[in-house]
Amino acid sequence: MNWLPVTSSNISEIAYEPEKKILSVRFIKSGIYRYFDVPEHIFEELRDAESVGKYFSEWIKGVFEFEKEIKKCPKCGTEMKITERILDDQKIYLCPECEFEEPM
C-alpha cells in the first residue's frame, strides 16, 4: 500500500487498496482509519479534491463502514498514542505505559 501525502489541516495521508476496496486515511491527531467497500472513483476524487477535508466530510464520513487501526506497543502491548515531539516537531507513536517511541 502506497501512502499519498495530502494537503489538509486534519488528514496527512491517504492510501487505497483497489483489490479490497479499502481506503486508509491517516489523520493528523487520531491515527489511521480504514474505510470498507469504497469505490475507486471516491478515492480518486478525494485525492484530487481542492479541499480534502471537505470532500471527506461530505462523501466518506458516515457513509462507509470503518475501523480504527489500533497501534500496540511492541514492548508492553499497551495502545500507543500519537504525539508530537517538541524538539523536532516530528509526529510519533508513544506508549503511555513504558514511553516507547516509534515514528509514524
34 has a pLDDT exceeding 90: yes
Q: The whole model's pTM is what?
A: 0.79
pLDDT score for 52: 97
Long-range contacts of 23-26 (CB under 8 A, 24+ apart): 23/60, 23/64, 24/69, 25/56, 25/60, 26/104
Where along the chain do its domains lie? 4-68, 72-104
Q: Which three cell numbers stand for residue 66?
A: 470503518
CA angle 5/31/76 to nearest 5° reads: 130
Mean pLDDT across 31-59: 97
Q: How confident is the model at residue 87 (pLDDT cuts 50, 70, 90)?
A: confident
